Each structure stands twice: as structure tokens, then as C-alpha cells.
Amino acid sequence: MTSNTSKTGFNSSFGAIMAAAGSAVGLGNIWRFPYICGKYGGGAFLLVYIFFVFFIGMVLMMSEFVIGRRSKEAPIRAYATLCPKHTSWKLVGLLGLITCFLILAIYLVISGWTLNYFWESLTGTLSSIPINGFKLHFNTFASSAVRPAVFIVAFLIFTFLVIVGGVQKGIERVSKLLMPILVVLLIVMCVRSLTLEGASEGVAYLFNPDFTKLTGEGVLAALGQALFSLSVGMGVMIVYGSYLPVDDNILKTSMWITLCDFFIAVLSGVAIFPAVFACGQEPTGGPGLVYEVLPVVFQSFGGLGTVFATVFFLLLSLAALTSAISLLEALTAWLNKNGMRRFSAALLISVLVVFLSIAASFAYGDADNAKTSLSNGIWYDIKIAEMSIYEFLDKLTGTYLPPICAFLTIIFFGWVMKKEDIMDELSNHGTVKIGYFNVFYYFLVRFVAPVALLVVLVAGIIK
């Protein structure tokens, strides 16, 4: 078993990129991005999204990497180390970790669904369902008590085992293996989707800019999606930053991770929408798209449909796994740095999070279900602020906490940390030339990113 005295850190820059890209690429890319991109005007949304991803998301990622590598600490202590005078900045680290915990809880629910669908595709259950029965099938499954909980636990066990394996032998090794597999599987799905008759309508839906659909809400959604998709603002990248090799070029590494995350999101759209349109299905959003519409699409492929369904849900499970790993690692690293053994730390967090996750799963449901024959989870009626536990977690982690954490992090970075320290770390103590980039970067850090985040926050709260 690895102990907290073993050397921790990634072995190579490539390993670091794969691990961080593994964190970034997840359900957010494959499940969420295509749907909101289509909903808010396709190409028009994409333009705004590109701006946020590269000018705010990537800037935050670099900032977290600098905080992590400079302090060599997990969040909370990282802030205290870099700013010993005002230790209340530690609270930002704490809030980030709480957010990671809550995100992990809800992430596990959806990952559990995905794993179940992978299992059902593999065993042929999914292909035996009549074409109009998928909505009922998903609803019956997600609102039942035992089966989703079993898959949550199974998924968490995989995540736990990787964390216990350690940073190099667990996270880095698994990411180096899974990320390339994921890209290959995704390309296979894209080729299949694009070669279907009528595919062009889906491509148009995804890319044709429709500025009338790009509302204020769409712009906010773009920033929220950029933060979530790149896993930034919550301290996960501080932890990964503390594992970066000392001679790693932070700008280059962040650029690769960001490009990888962006292209996988776009490719997911290409894999999904042309196929959805080619089958005459509606591009609905939320859980419906992946768990209710796509199975219909796969079934229309005939015999090969089962193979493609299995490949797709495997792809989604793997993407979710490397993201869940990063969330559990952030929490484990924090306890580990405070003296707890890695194994015990990961176990403690896992046991705590599984209760919340199963509670959220029990509370899954939809107000509309009461009007139809569809059912809700057994705890759907327990309300916090008029929301079920599931909806409450979803709102907190989807709308409020990420921009708050991201805003506080960037304020710390731009206005509290010393500029010389930042530039020293970015240039690897002067060995990497960053030229005029530092002026541009610092402008983004100090002004553009905080203002954009503040606007999102205020707009999100007023709404």
C-alpha cells in the first residue's frame, strides 16, 4: 500500500496531460455539451464557448497549476502556504473541497446509470426492449431503489481502487491507457454517425450559427459549462498541479489539456446528433438524450446496434471514471497531506460520499411524472428549499458553487499572490521564455476572468 511518505507526483508531462485531460473529459463533454450547444444556437454558442474555454477556463487551469506546484500542497494548505499573512484564504480551499465532495456525489449517480447501461448493452437486455419502451425503461430503473445503488457502489469501487494504487501507478497509468482508448472509440462512433443517411441535418444543428437562440442564459450556460468541463475552480487542478514535474511547461500542458477537452466535446456532438437526426428522433436534453433517445438510435442500426451501444456506454463510463478519480483524489490528497494514510483517506471519503450519492439517487424524479404513469424515487418528496435532494445537489453544483469558487480562486491568484512568484513558476524559474504572454495573461487574470465570473454569478443568483 502506498503511504504518504512515498514520492508523489506524475512521472512525465505526457502522463500529467493524460491525467488532467482525464479529469476534464467526462460526462460534461459527452453528455452535457452536445445538448446545450444545440439548444443555445449551435455555432453561435460554440463561438462564445471557445472564448470562455481558452480565455477564462484555461487561465484558471494555469492559475491552479501554479498554486499547486508552487506550494506543493493540497488545497486549504496551499492557500495558507502562499499567503501566510491572511490565513482566511484557506476557506476558499475548504469551499472548493466541499464542492468537490458534492459534485462527486451527483457524478456517481449518473456514472452508475451509465455503468448499468453498459452492462445492459453487453448482456443484451437493452436490445430486447421495444423501440417505444426506452423512456419507461429509464424511468423505472432510475426511480427504483436497489439497482442504481448497486451500480453507484460498483463504480465507486473502481474509482477507489485506482486512487489506492497511487498517483503514478494508479491515476497516471490508468489515464495513459484509457484516454487513447476513449478517443479511438469516439472516432468510431463519429464515423458511424456521419455515414448514416440524413446525417447532415445533425451536423447543421450542431454547427450552423443561430444567433437568435443565443440568449443571455445561453452565454451564462457557456461559461458554466467551460468551468465544469475543464474541472477548474474547485481545487482539483491545484492537487494535480502539485504533482506536475518541476520542469513541466505549464502553458503548454494547459493548452494541450484544454484542446483535448474542447475537441472531445465537439466530437461527442458529431457522434450523437447526426445519428439522432438520421433516425428521425428529437434532440432532447438532460438524461433523456443519452438514456432514452440514443438506445432507439442504436436499435435502428439492426444487429450491429448492440455493439455500438456497448461501445458508447463503455466510452461514457471510462470518461466518467477518470473524472471521478480526480474528484476523489482531491479529497484524498487533502486528508493524506494531513497525515492520514492514502488507503484510509480514500476509504473514509468513499464511505461518506456513497451515502449522499445513494440519497440523491433515491430522490431522483421529475414533477411532470406525477401527471403521467411514470414514477419518482422513494425520497423524491423530501424537500430542501422546495427541491428534492437530487435537484438541490444539481443546482448547487451546477449553478452556484463552481463560479463562486472560481471567482475567489482567481481573486486570490491575481490580487493576493505576488506577480513575480507567478511569473517565476510559469517560466520555470526563467528557463522557459514566456515573452509578452505574461502581460496578456496577467490582464486576463486580474480583470477579464474576475469580471466575467462575477457577471455569471450575479446573473445566476438574480434569475
**Which residues of the chain form contacts with ligand TRP (CB under 6 A)?**
23-24, 26-29, 103, 228-229, 231, 234, 236, 323, 326-327
Nearer to ligand TRP, 103 or 294 (CB): 103
Instruction: Compute the least distance from the CB of residue 279 to ligand TRP, in Å.
Output: 26
Distance CA 377, CA 143 (A): 4
Distance CA 109, CA 158 (A): 14
Closest CA to 286 of 24, 25, 22, 27: 27
Nearer to ligand TRP, 305 or 402 (CB): 402
Instruction: Compute the least distance from the CB of residue 117 to ligand TRP, in Å.
Output: 17
Nearer to ligand TRP, 196 or 330 (CB): 330
Nearer to ligand TRP, 93 or 305 (CB): 93
3-state secondary structure of 387: strand
State residue 359 phi and psi, 5-degree precision: -60, -45
Nearer to ligand TRP, 27 or 78 (CB): 27
H or E element in which residue 264 lies: helix 250-278
Instruction: Compute the least distance from the CB of residue 75 to ligand TRP, in Å.
Output: 11
Query: In sequence order, what E strands does 264-406 have?
Result: 383-384, 387-388
Instruction: Compute the least distance from the CB of residue 93 to ligand TRP, in Å.
Output: 14
3-state secondary structure of 383: strand
Rg (CA), the chain: 21
Nearer to ligand TRP, 24 or 59 (CB): 24
Instruction: Compute the least distance from the CB of residue 413 to ligand TRP, in Å.
Output: 17
Instruction: Compute the least distance from the CB of residue 201 to ligand TRP, in Å.
Output: 27
Instruction: Compute the least distance from the CB of residue 389 to ligand TRP, in Å.
Output: 20
Instruction: Compute the least distance from the CB of residue 241 to ligand TRP, in Å.
Output: 13
Nearer to ligand TRP, 185 or 236 (CB): 236
C-alpha cell at 288: 433523456
Distance CA 268, CA 320 (A): 14
The conformation of residue 436, written as its DSSP 8-state character, comes to: T
Nearer to ligand TRP, 325 or 452 (CB): 325
Distance CA 101, CA 226 (A): 20
Query: In angstroms, how far apart are the furthest CA atoms of the chain?
Result: 66
C-alpha cell at 241: 498541479
Place of cell 447543421: 204
Q: How far is CA 106 from CA 102, 397, 410, in A?
A: 7, 8, 25
